């Protein structure tokens, strides 16, 4: 296949390459560095998600056709048509979304915070360059202004080209797109600007690393109004309990309202789930477990594109944790 280029292009080359690493018919690819795009020789014709973030396991999807491969200033970007999960967006070899299950992540990371406060008006999205979180924020008629700061323009362009049902979020007139560093954007934001900040980041290896560190949380807290809320991607309790414990410790120091962990099923994420940290700043208290701002499913605005995943019951259920995770998080409480 063509070498990655820093421009939009599509290719339908078959996924064939010589397997130089074979000895006696046996590949030991997995003990070496994975290919940056995941299209290694591991399973020819399939995409395998291999990462030091989840050693010893790999989820694979059958590839029908590669639609895009590129290399931005920040990461490798790939889109392929899968056999059974629709189109798939890959960044640095890691699945970001599939058309089949993106609803779970996008709806939960958005409505868990926005349904927990009355009348959110100003919302900031950090990351989220695919537009899916914007699409979900736009369901809230109280919202007047949606800022988004995505570091990688290629993600936005690719999403608009290949995922129109997700990138539709950019079409909302309340949205202002900023291409740049989310950390710098937050620092420059006037204090107390936002009702809610949603951090839709990739994993802490790569361009999103800073978004898991304490100075970033301090910037978020500063940019939020009193009693404002943040929801940030916070990994899986099955794989990364220690990362989560560190995030909890940081958040408890920074966010003086409440600090909670919630989770949702997402089949194509490692361990089949992903978690979120939901925190509020000092001010009007926020009880995340009991949403005060329901999305009315009978609203005519929602009828054309009904929620697939989120509802009031699953909102509250998301905060119920298995005992091992509950104990680990409780051990970090002040």
Cβ-contact 134, 128 below 8 angstroms: yes
Contact flag: residue 294 with a second copy (CB under 8 A): no
Stretch that binds a second copy, among 113-121, 148-156, 212-220, 312-320 (CB under 8 A): 312-320
Cβ-contact 146, 134 below 8 angstroms: yes
Stretch that binds a second copy, among 77-85, 123-131, 155-163, 197-205 (CB under 8 A): 77-85
Going by C-alpha positions, the residue among 200, 212, 213, 216 that lies closest to residue 166 is 200
Task: Report the C-alpha gap between 124 and 183 in whole angstroms.
Answer: 12
Q: Is 28 a catalytic residue?
A: no
Contact flag: residue 24 with a second copy (CB under 8 A): yes
Contact flag: residue 265 with a second copy (CB under 8 A): yes
Residue with tokens 């949702």: 264
22 assigned binding-site residue: no
Task: Report the C-alpha gap between 50 and 30 in whole angstroms.
Answer: 8
Report, in Å, the least distance between residue 177 CB and a second copy.
29
Say which of 200, 287, 296, 299 is annotated catalytic: 200
User: Is 256 or 312 the residue whose CB approaches a second copy more closely?
Assistant: 312
Report, in Å, the least distance between residue 127 CB and a second copy.
23
40 assigned binding-site residue: no
74 assigned binding-site residue: no
Going by C-alpha positions, the residue among 72, 85, 51 that lies closest to residue 8 is 72
- DSSP H or E stretch at residue 103: helix 102-114
Task: Report the C-alpha gap between 316 and 253 in whole angstroms.
Answer: 25
130 assigned binding-site residue: yes
299 assigned binding-site residue: no
Cβ-contact 112, 322 below 8 angstroms: no
Q: Structure tokens of 39? A: 């299209």
Q: Which residues bind a second copy (CB under 8 A)?
A: 16-19, 22, 24-28, 30-31, 41-46, 48, 54-62, 82-85, 100-101, 103-104, 236, 238-239, 263, 265-267, 269-273, 306-311, 313-314, 316-318, 320-324, 326
Residue numbers belonging to the annotated binding site: 75, 105-106, 130, 150, 181-182, 200-203, 269
């Amino acid at each position: 296949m063509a070498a990655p280029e820093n421009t939009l292009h599509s290719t339908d080359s078959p996924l064939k390459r010589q397997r130089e690493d074979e000895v006696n018919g046996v590949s030991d690819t997995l003990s070496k560095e994975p290919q940056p795009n995941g299209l290694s020789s591991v399973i020819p014709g399939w995409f395998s998600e291999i990462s030091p973030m989840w050693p010893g396991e790999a989820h694979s999807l059958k590839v029908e056709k590669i639609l895009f491969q590129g290399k931005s200033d920040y990461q490798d970007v790939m889109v392929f048509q899968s056999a059974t999960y629709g189109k798939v967006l890959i960044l640095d070899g890691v699945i970001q979304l599939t058309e089949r299950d993106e609803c779970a992540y996008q709806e939960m990371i958005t409505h868990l915070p926005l349904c927990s406060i009355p009348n959110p008006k100003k919302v900031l999205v950090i990351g989220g360059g695919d537009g899916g979180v914007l699409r979900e924020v736009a369901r809230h008629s109280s919202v007047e202004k949606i800022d988004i700061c995505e570091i990688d323009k290629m993600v936005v362009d690719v999403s608009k080209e290949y995922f129109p049902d997700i990138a539709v979020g950019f079409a909302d007139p309340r949205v202002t797109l900023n291409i740049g560093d989310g950390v710098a954007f937050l620092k420059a934001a006037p204090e107390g600007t936002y009702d809610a900040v949603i951090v839709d980041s990739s994993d802490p290896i790569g361009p999103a690393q800073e978004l898991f560190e304490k100075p970033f949380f301090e910037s978020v807290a500063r940019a939020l109004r009193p009693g404002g809320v943040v929801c940030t991607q916070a990994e899986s309790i099955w794989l990364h309990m220690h990362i989560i414990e560190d995030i909890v410790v940081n958040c408890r120091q920074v966010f003086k309202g409440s600090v909670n962990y919630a989770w949702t099923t997402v089949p194509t994420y490692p361990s089949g789930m992903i978690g979120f940290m939901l925190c509020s700043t000092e001010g009007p208290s926020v009880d995340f477990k009991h949403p005060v701002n329901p999305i009315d499913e009978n609203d005519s605005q929602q009828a054309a594109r009904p929620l697939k995943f989120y509802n009031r019951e699953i909102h509250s259920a998301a905060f119920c944790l298995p005992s091992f995770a509950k104990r680990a998080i409780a051990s970090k409480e002040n």
